[in-house]
Structure 1
Amino acid sequence: MLLFLKLIDYLLAAVFISAAIILYFDSSNQQYVIAGAGALAVAIFLFLLNRSSVNNALKESQQAELQKKAELYTSLLTHSNSLENNTIVPARAKALEYCQDLINDYRGTRNWARNLYYVLQISTVILSGVTPILVLVDKLEAGQAWLKWLPVICPALASIVASIVTSFPFQKNWVAANTTVELLEAEQEKFILGISPAYRCYDVSGEAEQQQRVSQAVESFINQVNNIHLQQVQQATEQQPEKKKETTTTEESSSDKPKTEQPA
């Protein structure tokens, strides 16, 4: 089902590109323009509707995968077929789902910050490199009035983009989110397989003691996941006062500079 929905995404993207090409090259034909505009509107609507279905399918797939992971650990228990141990699976599934939601959120933050950082850096390089070429083109007197503005616009845009990169910590957010994802995934694998002493319960022979150890393992896992998450939140909140302090220090140093007196 998920593969079928992704295939629909690709087909809608092909329809969108084809309609855009028709609108660009056959803009003089009114019938083509109306058909292309209608195709674009329908493609955008179906794409948004299909994306909702894709997200729901992904969520269901992740829940099924987490359920399998939760059941994997109970198979290692001595009395895994008893009815009492069936309460272990929902608790572990809920704990894994909570951790997976945090992982997905940090992955989205990581991808967004990384892509935006790369786009801004590449844009700065391109705009800075194209400026000398545009100056030469302007001197050739090509007859195009808009070419005279490009040597002014491109450096201004490069300066704005560079200021955005330095003002907002996209790279720090990307690295911090990636570190959090790696820590959460490592902790999740430890919990699934029970390879750390805090999560190991299958080496206990008694059923009652196994139940107690499993409950303690779930509690320890939730606490560890919360510690990783709260540590990242604390680091993000500490960066804001430091940034404000640096800005205030810069403004005070600039205002404290002695003014030079003009000679009489």
Structure 2
Amino acid sequence: MMPPPPPPAVSMVTAAGWFMGWRLQRSGAKVNQSHDRTASSSSSSAELRFVCIILLLFILLLLLCLRPSHAMDTLWQYQFRIILLGDSTVGKSSLLKRFTDGIYSDVADPTVGVDFYARSLDIESGVKIKLQLWDTAGQERFRSITTSYYRNSVGGLLVFDLTNRKTFDHVKEWHKEVSEHILPHHMVYILIGHKSDLQKDRKVSRDEAEQLAAELGIRYIETSAKCNSNVDRAFELLTRDIYELMKMGEIVTRDGWDGVKSGLTAKVLYPGDEEEELTTASAEKGCHC
């Protein structure tokens, strides 16, 4: 930008002074513009940071609102520790993953030692029971590890494979081993005939399984993790049986025993006026694979 012409009738010195003044005025204007831009940029950055913080807080609040069940898991009245028993490959891990995560996979790695799962059930109005579920390895070499979990369990699922006769024949051995380890106390069992979807490959009849359950004095139910048949029902039946025995005073919490624990809002239990009749066999839902 060219400077305006100097006023008429001025000396060279005056003209030079005037020119220097004009340059200083221009420099000052540029400095002011630079300061304005810097201030504007700083203000925009601060506003952007504030918006980001508000957006992050909103997302966190939304996530908490979408997952209320996890926040409420601490408000259980009782906690039952349940153990799954049976030979390797009968499908204990598949049952647990279907029950806790709602998923099934045809490929499953064998359990090494013991695996842990958890889920809560609403047994009746105002009564939430948290289940600690322990998946034990069926191989003989892990037996010394799994036996340590017997004493601290209140319930057990005796699982066999309907397509494998040997796994059914071993059920009595599992029942005897666990029962001897937990004396003088006892465990509540349910007998599970698993893989009911493989009807063509079946090696154990329902009558045989129901007869064994009657001999052991426990329930029997057939399940399929693949078809999601009777999986929830099996765990619900066992949980309800334990709860009913607690109401009758046959199972109580004990110091140093993790089989049953009371929560912060435990309910006072009284024997019911009419006790629910427990049958050893339950109707199996159809498999809709």
**TM-score, normalised with respect to structure 1:** 0.24
Per residue, is there more helix in 1 or in 2?
1
